[in-house]
Amino acid sequence: MASLGPAVTGEQVPGAEAEPGAAGPPPPSTSSLGPLLPLKREPLYNWQATKASLKERFAFLFNSELLSDVRFVLGKGRGGGGAAGGPQRIPAHRFVLAAGSAVFDAMFNGGMATTSAEIELPDVEPAAFLALLRFLYSDEVQIGPETVMTTLYTAKKYAVPALEAPCVEFLTKHLRADNAFMLLTQARLFDEPQLASLCLDTIDKNTMDAISAEGFTDIDIDTLCAVLERDTLSIRECRLFGAVVRWAEAECQRQQLPMTFGNKQKVLGKALALIRFPLMTIEEFAAGPAQSGILSDREVVNLFLHFTVNPKPRVEYIDRPRCCLRGKECCINRFQQVESRWGYSGTSDRIRFTVNRRISIVGFGLYGSIHGPTDYQVNIQIIEYEKKQTLGQNDTGFSCDGTANTFRVMFKEPIEILPNLCYMACATLKVRVFPSVLPGSGFPLWYKRTEEGGARNTYC
């Protein structure tokens, strides 16, 4: 941060001489915002000669007492806002500020113009205000991760869109799944629709990482609803429900409410109706929402009926699939018929494959034992072959019934597969006794189309 320049403690009466050792008059009161006469300063001779351009000359005046006619007082009442632990005074020049900001122009030259030599800004951070002044004096942008949000706020407050743009650009470049919700909240607060849209796109593509980040539980109810309304989230509904419950618990703490089922339901309000319970499997619903206490007994019964009977009774919750699970589910099977078996050795089964259209793989179909019902623990993975990068995995279990059928083992979230890249599907079964399995070294892939007519000719 630049120096604030030499402190001016007072001015002598012309022609008078101060007694040796005598203190000068006290500095002007900073508690009053009444009119103050400009302070006399010792001139800096011929400084202009070393500044070849207008930009250099104005940049030299930035944060300097030289020729200044106003001071801004920041950090008052914050207990340490300034360099010496108190209020921080920043000198400026009314003409420069009025030339760069309509708000400053109105402040100094409008019908309600202030004549005060000191102006208090209690809601502006000193670092952000200095970044604003630096830009107005020199067109130089100095922002970083710690100051970008406060600088954006200050640029908007004083109507300097030319500084807003680089702030938004900085945030866009540093947008990640783990800060997407924090930036989304700020983008909505500052009315930055382009940044908000980019945040939502990031959340769509990396939903699980985004909702696992610390910032998710800090969002407001309107932002939560805006996300839950989307058809493009790439996450299974049961995991989304778990994240919403975490948010409700954090909101109860913020509102200092007891952590009861009723209070969780209360703070969720309209957000609860945006959870798409019909998209869950009956097992997912029974293990999570049905036992959460957030739904009423009647709602739980109605949803169980929806899962189990035909025709399905009407429920109040949305049953429209999220985009990641939209479209026809297809199964790519390497075997037209089952004619043989092979002994399982405990090693991983792997298949390399490519696709010619963008798809999302939601799971594998695995063969089981021919010797009757068997329970398996299994790890499934999708690996980008060239980069050796694991795109998704799941440690789970499944049960087979001794038939030649395949048994669905699903990923927690769909995994996006791009055309013309080589991928590896990997499955590792863990059993106490290695029985014979059907039919050979391979398994089908289950996937969802993600575009019109997509993946009709998927090669495995």
pLDDT band for position 304 (50/70/90)? very high
CA distances (Å), origin 251, targets 188, 315, 319: 19, 27, 27
Residue type, 276: R
Q: Is the peptide bond before 439 cis (omega within 30 degrees of 0)?
A: yes
C-alpha to C-alpha distance for 142 and 147, rounded to whole angstroms: 9
Q: Label residue 362 by pLDDT band (50, 70, 90).
A: confident
DSSP codes joined into one string, 330-371: EEE-S-SS----EE--SPPEEEEEB-SS-EEEEEEEEE-BSS
* Residues in the chain, total: 460
Residue 245 identity? V
Domains and CATH numbers, the chain: 47-138 (3.30.710.10), 177-323 (no CATH), 328-449 (2.60.120.820)
Tokens coding 455: 């993946």
pLDDT tens for residues 239-253? 999 999 999 999 999
pLDDT digits (tens, 9 = 90+) for 328-360: 667 777 666 666 666 666 788 899 999 998 888
User: Taking Cα atoms as reference points, which of 293, 360, 371 lies closest to residue 324?
Assistant: 360
pLDDT of residue 242: 96
User: How far is it, in rounded angstroms, from Cα 94 to Cα 105?
Assistant: 8
Identify the H or E element spanning 91.
strand 88-92
The predicted structure's pLDDT at residue 29: 36
DSSP H or E stretch at residue 196: helix 193-205
- CA distance linking residue 120 with residue 33, whole number of Å: 8
- Specify which residues 88 forms β-bridges with: 74
Closest CA to 460 of 383, 355, 356: 355
Return d(Cα 417, Cα 2) in angstroms, integer: 51
Q: What are phi and psi of 299, to 5 degrees?
A: -65, -40
The rounded distance, in Å, linking the Cα atoms of 31 and 273 is: 52
Q: Which helix (H) or strand (E) holds 381?
A: strand 374-384
**For 87-143, what is each residue's pLDDT tens digit?**
889 999 999 999 999 999 999 998 888 888 899 998 899 999 999 999 999 999 999
Structure-block tokens of residue 172: 């866009």
Q: What is the pLDDT of residue 136?
A: 95
What's the pLDDT tens digit per position in 51-96? 888 888 988 999 989 888 999 999 755 444 444 457 889 999 999 9
**Alpha-carbon span 134 to 313, nearest angstrom:** 64
Rounded to 5°, angle at Cα 118 from 112 and 124: 85
Closest CA to 27 of 115, 105, 101, 89: 89
| pLDDT tens column, 271-297 | 999 999 988 888 889 999 999 999 999
